[in-house]
């Protein structure tokens, strides 16, 4: 068993389109454990910190507009290799390059409306989780399904 954690965010288009339960279900069905969840209306300052590596990109202003256009669902998942596997579940950043069966492959067509965000490394997951959640919002518990998922 791994206690690796990742940050997965359902973006405003995913929330508005009613995809929350479908997206959460993919992570649950895979066997990952949900340890934090909240609906949030992100501020410009939070998003500037979250997307600090993209601030010099020409699309950054439109990214801020899009990401503040509605609520997002911020989640933290735990499990074996969850950062890498979470990215696989999401699919490629460009939905047109995403395989069918991935979230983006099934629910998105445009990079600018690609439904969700997932941490790209263990280090960025820690940074994003700390940015979006207080320590006391992360719930430690042993899932009753533990023995059915892990050897």
Taking only the tens place, the pLDDT of each residue in 79-123 is 999 999 999 999 999 999 999 999 999 999 999 999 999 999 999
**Hey, how many other C-beta atoms are within 10 angstroms of the C-beta on 5?**
23
**Catalytic residue numbers, as ranges:** 117
Whole-angstrom Cα distance, residue 19 to residue 17?
6
Domain chopping of the chain, boundaries? 5-149
Which residues are part of a known binding site? 11, 59, 87, 93, 104, 114
Whole-angstrom Cα distance, residue 58 to residue 71?
24
Taking only the tens place, the pLDDT of each residue in 26-82 is 999 999 999 999 999 999 999 999 999 999 999 999 999 999 999 999 999 999 999
Determine the pLDDT at residue 2. Answer: 74
Which residues are part of a known binding site for ATP? 11, 59, 87, 93, 104, 114
CATH 3.30.70.141 fits 5-149, yes or no: yes
* Backbone phi and psi for residue 106, each to the nearest 5 degrees, phi listed first: -95, -30
Whole-angstrom Cα distance, residue 99 to residue 127?
28
């Amino acid at each position: 068993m791994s206690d690796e954690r990742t940050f997965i965010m359902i973006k405003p288009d995913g929330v508005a389109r009613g995809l929350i339960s479908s997206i959460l279900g993919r992570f649950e069905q895979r066997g990952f454990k949900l340890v934090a969840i909240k609906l949030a209306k992100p501020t410009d300052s939070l998003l500037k910190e979250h997307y600090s590596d993209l601030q010099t990109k020409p699309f950054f202003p439109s990214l801020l507009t899009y990401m503040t256009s509605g609520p997002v669902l911020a989640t933290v998942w735990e499990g074996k290799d969850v950062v890498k596997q979470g990215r696989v579940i999401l699919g490629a950043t460009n939905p047109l390059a995403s395989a069918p069966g991935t979230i983006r492959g099934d629910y998105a067509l445009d990079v600018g409306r690609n439904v969700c965000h997932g941490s790209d490394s263990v280090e960025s997951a820690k940074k994003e989780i700390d940015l979006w959640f207080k320590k006391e919002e992360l719930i430690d518990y042993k899932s009753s399904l533990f023995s059915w998922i892990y050897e």
